[in-house]
Structure 1
Amino acid sequence: METKRAYKFRFYPTPEQEQTLANTFGCARFAYNYMLRQRTDAWFQRQEKVGYHETSAMLTALKKQPGFAWLNEVSSVPVQQSLRHLQTAFGNFFARRNKYPAFKKKDGAQSAEYTTSAFKWDGRALRIAKMDDALNIRFSRTIPKAAKVTTVTISKDCAGRFFVSLLCTDQVHAKTPVTAKVGIDLGLTHFAILSTGEKIVAPKAFRKNQEKLAKLQRRLAKKTKGSANRKKAKLKVARLHAKITDTRKDFLHKLSTRMINENQVIAIETLAVSNMQKNHKLAKSIADASWSEFVRQLEYKSLWYGRELVGIDRWYPSSKRCSDCGHTVAKMPLNVREWACPECGAIHDRDINAARNVLAAGLAVSAIGESVSPVCI
């Protein structure tokens, strides 16, 4: 199947390239914030609707003014794309998919998007508009020759690392069918409990670095605002956050890929994560687990590689139901980790029993052709 696929790599710019990118980031951020202010004022002060085409005309007029001539020193494509991103942000807001667009910060993550007219890619080297030399990219994997690169996004995170993302139109082929099927019960002590009886320990990336992060943040709070030492302390905090994020992403990608490679059918229980995070005793651990990201990865990978992902209703009594005889007990407190079925006498590990019930329900849903619940977490 043909799909859009992004390949993200780290690269190391030369001092000249870094300065050019800094200017580009600044111009794109300025255009986004300036037009966000114009659209906001137009609506709340004059009840006028301003869309993408109006902001594009404003930007053209702005570039002709002597005080804004510096906007012409960088490639026009990323600056123009920032207006499209603003339009998308407003579209998501009006569709109630996101909050009202916020202003971009100078000390936050930066990005610039280049379309086909602003870059050259020959399969080995990438050259960006307004730069003479190709980017020094560390390729961690090979981009297929048949893949057509349509968009290049240059980004810089808060830890000072530069990344390039190449969005391609690529052909993804289904994997060889297998007979294995698995049910997954998500948890906190163990990130995932499989119907096979395997328990996968949660990485707890944030918890393991919590004390060190708190120490660095206390040091940062004591530094004078605007000082060089404050910038150094802030960078240390950002680098630790980046380490936590990278550790979590690495774990989730490896686990989701393994599940896709080994199983033809994957059944998983849907969870209302936003509601669960209202429990302040568990909110931090739930956020650290990143269940939503894991399910998102399973969704697109199963679609790409010809696997079946089945979502089970969150109210399905997977923990209270005996996987041997089907008897359902009335109550099952969270502190009960092992229980005996009063009907058949089978002794169950709470989580493994739940995973087996999730698999059974998923197979029933798959066979009947109905959806117990959409995979939405």
Structure 2
Amino acid sequence: MQLRKAFKFEIMPNGSQIRRIKQFCGCSRFMFNRALAWQNEQYEQDNSFKFSYTKIANLLPQWKKELVWLKECHSQVLQQSLKDLESAFKNFFQQRADFPKFKKKGLKESFRFPQGCKLEQQNNRLYLPKIGWVRYRNSRDIVGEIKNVTVSQKCGRFFVSIQTEFEYEIPTHKGGEIGIDMGIARFATLSSGEFFEPLNAFKTYKGKLAKLQRQLKNKVKFSQNWQKLKEKIAKLHHKIANCRKDFLHQTSSKISKNHAMIYIEDLQVSNMSKSAKGTAEAPGKNVAAKSGLNQAILDQSWFEFHRQLDYKTQWQGGFLVAVPPQNTSRTCPCCSHTAKENRQTQANFECVECGYTENADVVGALNVLVRGRAIVHA
């Protein structure tokens, strides 16, 4: 099968290359905003909203004549920015995302080359059109034919994401089957009894983050000290995200390599983490407790863990099955008796019918395993 995979590395550009990269980011952002503004103007004129990449791409030569500095940017970078706008409109019309918004300087700065890039892994360098040869931190080998290269900037550092395509033969997985129960006290509990402790990256650093944000409040906006604190806060957020990603990748890789058939709860995270404030006429109850629970749920990144398990299991030749999570921790795995009284505490399970006792998360994982088998054999 044809497999597309991305390899991300940090690059080390020199001074002139950094200026070029920032200039390309600005041109890409400007072209996205210019095309979005033009599209909005067309809608106001005739009230018909049909986005056409070809029509807007034909306006590029005219815009380059009006704004000469656009010629300094690579033409493919500008075209790919219009492609991104086309994708944004497709997602909007298919109700997968909100209406496209104008891009803001300093947020998600990036641009993409669909072709023209060269790679020398033995010399740890990469050629980017109109930028030149750039050194990168070569942490692993790149496999396959390069399809596109995305350059991004975050927290004063520069990164490159190289997407490749190659033939991949799916191996035959020799592992067994397992059920997974997701939780707060235990991040993931397996039906075998093994469990993974949560990392809680945001909880670990939220005290330091709050301190920096209080200091930022007392600074003069846009002053040098204000900008320094903004950079510190951005770097801390970046560190929290990296810690979480590293934990999720290590956990999902370990589970997918050792088990061929994985059953996991199909949790609706967006519904589970909704606010309990309510309205002025009908205010909510236990708002503070629900807010803390929502924060803990989002800190676990259950959806991202599910997504990583899905594609990594396919790479290993296994299967992932999503199971309805209703009453998984209230049903006895021995006698199948379902009752709220079976789970008297958050951690302990004791069946009121047959007296079976076990950790509640292990019981949930066992029931997920049973339900998953029923779905597969149905």
TM-score by length of 2: 0.91
Once residues 42 and 331 of structure 1 are traced to their aligned partners in structure 2, the CA distance between those partners, rounded to angstroms, is 62
Question: Partner residue of 1:308?
Answer: 319
Q: CA deviation at 1:297?
A: 0.5
Change beyond 3 A, Cα 1:99–1:332:
farther
1:284-363 → structure 2 map (5 Å cutoff): 284-315=295-326, 317-331=327-341, 335-363=345-373
Question: Partner residue of 1:283?
Answer: 294
Change beyond 3 A, Cα 1:99–1:331:
farther
Q: CA deviation at 1:82?
A: 0.2
1:205-244 → structure 2 map (5 Å cutoff): 205-244=201-240
1:103-252 → structure 2 map (5 Å cutoff): 103-116=102-115, 118-124=116-122, 125-132=125-132, 134-144=133-143, 147-157=144-154, 159-252=155-248
Aligned AA (1:318): T
Once residues 121 and 340 of structure 1 are traced to their aligned partners in structure 2, the CA distance between those partners, rounded to angstroms, is 60
- Aligned partners of 2:343 and 2:360 also within 8 Å: no
Q: CA deviation at 1:107?
A: 1.8
How many residues end up aligned between the 2 structures? 360
Q: CA deviation at 1:178?
A: 2.0
Once residues 84 and 77 of structure 1 are traced to their aligned partners in structure 2, the CA distance between those partners, rounded to angstroms, is 10
More off after superposition, 209-218 vs 245-254: 209-218
Question: Partner residue of 2:287?
Answer: none
Question: Partner residue of 2:39?
Answer: 39
Q: CA deviation at 1:42?
A: 1.6
Question: 2:32 matched to 1:21?
Answer: no
Once residues 175 and 246 of structure 1 are traced to their aligned partners in structure 2, the CA distance between those partners, rounded to angstroms, is 30
Once residues 63 and 161 of structure 1 are traced to their aligned partners in structure 2, the CA distance between those partners, rounded to angstroms, is 30
Q: CA deviation at 1:264?
A: 0.9
Question: Partner residue of 1:375?
Answer: none
Once residues 108 and 223 of structure 1 are traced to their aligned partners in structure 2, the CA distance between those partners, rounded to angstroms, is 22
Q: 1:239 aligns to what SS in structure 2?
A: helix
Once residues 301 and 307 of structure 1 are traced to their aligned partners in structure 2, the CA distance between those partners, rounded to angstroms, is 9
Question: 2:85 matched to 1:86?
Answer: yes
- Aligned partners of 1:188 and 1:286 also within 8 Å: yes
More off after superposition, 91-100 vs 330-339: 330-339
TM-score by length of 1: 0.91
Q: CA deviation at 1:340?
A: 2.0
Once residues 260 and 172 of structure 1 are traced to their aligned partners in structure 2, the CA distance between those partners, rounded to angstroms, is 17
Q: CA deviation at 1:119?
A: 1.7
Once residues 180 and 50 of structure 1 are traced to their aligned partners in structure 2, the CA distance between those partners, rounded to angstroms, is 49
Describe the superposition over 1:96-133 as per-residue Cα deviations: whole angstroms up to 9, x where unpaired.
000111111112120010011x322345431011123x
Q: 1:103 aligns to what SS in structure 2?
A: coil
Q: CA deviation at 1:171?
A: 3.0
Gaps of 5+ in 1: 369-377
Q: CA deviation at 1:46?
A: 3.4
Question: Partner residue of 2:285?
Answer: none
RMSD in angstroms over aligned alpha carbons?
1.6
More off after superposition, 317-326 vs 284-293: 317-326
Question: Partner residue of 2:270?
Answer: 274
Describe the superposition over 1:174-204 as per-residue Cα deviations: whole angstroms up to 9, x where unpaired.
3442242211000111111111112211100
- Aligned partners of 2:349 and 2:363 also within 8 Å: no
- Aligned partners of 1:42 and 1:50 also within 8 Å: no
Change beyond 3 A, Cα 1:78–1:34:
same
Once residues 180 and 26 of structure 1 are traced to their aligned partners in structure 2, the CA distance between those partners, rounded to angstroms, is 51
Describe the superposition over 1:225-261 as per-residue Cα deviations: whole angstroms up to 9, x where unpaired.
2222222111100100000000000000000000111
Question: Partner residue of 1:371?
Answer: none
- Aligned partners of 1:25 and 1:112 also within 8 Å: yes
- Aligned partners of 2:13 and 2:135 also within 8 Å: yes
More off after superposition, 94-103 vs 170-179: 170-179
Once residues 176 and 88 of structure 1 are traced to their aligned partners in structure 2, the CA distance between those partners, rounded to angstroms, is 36
Describe the superposition over 1:303-326 as per-residue Cα deviations: whole angstroms up to 9, x where unpaired.
2221111110133x2111111232
- Aligned partners of 2:313 and 2:319 also within 8 Å: yes
Question: Partner residue of 1:374?
Answer: none
Q: CA deviation at 1:360?
A: 1.5
Aligned AA (1:128): L
Once residues 284 and 44 of structure 1 are traced to their aligned partners in structure 2, the CA distance between those partners, rounded to angstroms, is 41
- Aligned partners of 1:11 and 1:137 also within 8 Å: yes
Once residues 336 and 305 of structure 1 are traced to their aligned partners in structure 2, the CA distance between those partners, rounded to angstroms, is 35
Aligned AA (2:61): T
Change beyond 3 A, Cα 1:367–1:50:
closer
Once residues 233 and 258 of structure 2 are traced to their aligned partners in structure 1, the CA distance between those partners, rounded to angstroms, is 38
Q: 2:98 aligns to what SS in structure 1?
A: coil
Aligned AA (1:105): K
Q: CA deviation at 1:9?
A: 0.8
Aligned AA (2:330): K
Aligned AA (1:312): V
Question: Partner residue of 1:373?
Answer: none
